[in-house]
Amino acid sequence: MKATKSMQAQGNRLANTMIQLNVLNGKDMVDAKFPLFTDKLKEINLFPLKPSGIEIFQINMGKMCNQVCAHCHVDAGPDRKEIMTKQTLERCLEILKNTDIKTVDLTGGAPEMNPHFFWFVEELSKLGKHIIDRCNLTIIVANKKYHRLPDFFKEHGVEVVSSLPYFSEKRTDSQRGEGVFEQSIRALKMLNEVGYGIEGTEQKLNLVYNPSGAFLPGDQSSLEAEFKRQLKRKFDIQFNNLYAITNIPISRFLDYLLESGNYEAYMEKLVTAYNPMAARNVMCRNTISISWDGYLYDCDFNQMLDLKVSERSSLHINDFDIDKLNNRSIVLNQHCYGCTAGAGSSCGGEVTG
């Protein structure tokens, strides 16, 4: 039976981020210890890891979501009430006005469920920012008020990045919940209808593939070719690029790994597949992640582990200091192996090649 509640609502002890960090370091629930990620970076003179400069402002607009995905690193769901306020969003706009950060990446939960979402995107659009919306697709068909999203995205030049773990119902629904595949296909058709994902248009629709289980993603370009072939053949659906993303061993995916007895083997896979080239290109070097309550993190994963930026004088958007943040040391832990395995992984897919 698939969970319909967040780990937090279930009272799962892994909802406590300290316990997750202890597991990753072999101090709770498991004995397995792996080489320290920081040592791997020391070997290539990359420690302490420094930013290359903030280019992406990734805002987690809230943990509320209409789905309860089995691998969700946010532990998002309908029962999560943490939502970014208008005041915090206004502060984000102020920062974006006064810096030359070009890309704003909206995530959640389902970012569209934030009551200020439409207003916020309009404001970002006025600033001329490149807007990315991490849309779970089903939100578009979930409620009448969201049916206008495809047109709205188009009007404001929003790039849509959507998860579709597989081109079959069985594997998609096993990860994202019953009925998700069918709804996702309907939403993709609506996006295609207004030009999203269609060759020659400016409306970019990129899909995210992440494995439905304890294995790593294969070669991104091969997967993209297979997804394109199958989605076109089966449903006449088109998209631009496929981002292959590795599941990071935190939150619900960590819970799954432990429950299924796959934790050790999965960590070993990540550690064995460690790629120094990927380590040089990790996304935390050009990204800053903002939580629903305005705190700053090196990435969305650190945010979910409650590992705030190391720059103590700029912990919150109210104290946002881009110069200091650009000189911070990035906070690392054992989950970081997830971004450096094989061809690497980021919110934009592989980081090498």
Output 167 or 256, the one with its CB closest to other proteins: 167
Output 167 or 292, the one with its CB closest to other proteins: 167
Question: Residue 197, interface with other proteins (CB under 8 A)?
Answer: no
Task: Cite the DSSP H helix spans in 11-161.
Answer: 17-24, 37-43, 86-98, 117-126, 138-142, 149-155
Question: Residue 261, interface with other proteins (CB under 8 A)?
Answer: no
Question: Residue 31, interface with other proteins (CB under 8 A)?
Answer: no
Site size for other proteins (CB under 8 A)? 18
Cβ proximity of 111 and 61 under 8 Å: yes
Measuring CA to CA, which residue among 93, 174, 160 is closest to residue 129?
Answer: 93
Cβ proximity of 207 and 243 under 8 Å: yes
The SS3 of residue 245 is coil
Residue choice 78, 157, 218, 348 for contact with other proteins (CB under 8 A): 218
CB of 166 to other proteins, least distance (A): 7
Question: Residue 262, interface with other proteins (CB under 8 A)?
Answer: no
Question: How many of the other CB atoms lie within 10 Å of CB of 83?
Answer: 18
Output 32 or 46, the one with its CB closest to other proteins: 32
Residue choice 213, 275, 280, 316 for contact with other proteins (CB under 8 A): 213
Question: Residue 202, interface with other proteins (CB under 8 A)?
Answer: no
Which of the residues 226 through 245 are near other proteins (CB under 8 A)?
A: 226-227
Alpha carbons within 13 angstroms on the beta-carbon side of residue 78 total 8
Residue choice 94, 122, 155, 219 for contact with other proteins (CB under 8 A): 219
- C-alpha 115/C-alpha 160 separation (Å) is 19
Which of the residues 156 through 195 are near other proteins (CB under 8 A)?
A: 166-168, 170-171
Q: Which stretch binds other proteins (CB under 8 A): 106-114, 154-162, 225-233, 286-294?
A: 225-233
**Sheet of 103-107, strand order:** 242-244, 205-209, 159-163, 130-135, 103-107, 56-60, 287-290, 296-297
The SS3 of residue 164 is coil
Residue choice 4, 52, 222, 260 for contact with other proteins (CB under 8 A): 222
- C-alpha 229/C-alpha 211 separation (Å) is 18
Interacting residues toward other proteins by CB under 8 A: 166-168, 170-171, 209, 211, 213, 215-219, 222-223, 225-227
